[in-house]
Structure 1
């Protein structure tokens, strides 16, 4: 006597794959329409040859760690507060570090400014597009 058993075929998860692809399609369609495209009539400003300059109220830290404010060398962060005639507590301080300044020096200056009461310290950097 011969018995024929049907072999079970493994089901392919095509329905699940189609659902995932469809959900991704809907997601990207919605995400792509959140920001409208820039009008073709607008021409963006080129800043390629623009001369960089620090903000006038910023504390500059040179690569050797020397502090400057409006072209004058300072001894420490307290001298910055005195020179700038800033009311205490400090509200927001802009710091322009040299590219070669070690991060530890930047942290020391920011810690000193925090100790003087600076609530916010902004590090001004070059932005490349």
Structure 2
């Protein structure tokens, strides 16, 4: 009588499959979180050529440091914040001109916060060509 050698059942390569799926998962997590580079022609702040007007409740600052609110000139940040109600001091919207130096913008936001503004939000326009 002939004996046939029992063949071992073929094992499925589950560990290799799990490793491949895990590597694909990591790849898609990393690829999904990378941000697209900004287009070199993109200009993030554009206020001189806005279509329309600044929001009615926004403080506008010009390149020379001049402040206006609803078309009326403002003396400084402290007097502007003092003229607001407690509710309006929670969020102050600021529309900076594109040519405004960053130092001036930072100093103004610091002055607004020191005068009692809870939060200062910059209003900008993304100009995609």
TM above 0.5, yes or no, is yes
Classify the TM-score, shorter chain: 0.5 to 0.7
Partner of 1:60: 60
5+ residue gaps, structure 2: 1-15, 33-49
Q: How does 1:96-107 map to 2 (within 5 A)?
A: 96-107=95-106
CA contact (8 A) 1:92 1:122 kept: yes
Partner of 1:25: 24
Q: Deviations over 1:63-122 (max 9, x none)?
A: 111001011111101232355x33378211110000000011111211111111111110
TM-align CA RMSD: 3.2
Q: Which protein, 1 or 2, shows the higher relative CO under an 8 Å CA cutoff with sep ≥ 6? A: 2
Partner of 1:51: 51
TM-score (norm 2): 0.59
Seen in structure 2, the aligned counterparts of structure 1 residues 119 and 25 have a Cα distance that, compared at 3 Å, is same
CA distance in 1, matches of 2:51, 2:82: 29
CA distance in 2, matches of 1:26, 1:117: 48
CA contact (8 A) 1:59 1:95 kept: yes
5+ residue gaps, structure 1: 1-15, 33-49
2:70 is equivalent to residue 70 of structure 1: yes
Query: What secondary structure sits across from 1:73 in the alignment?
Result: strand
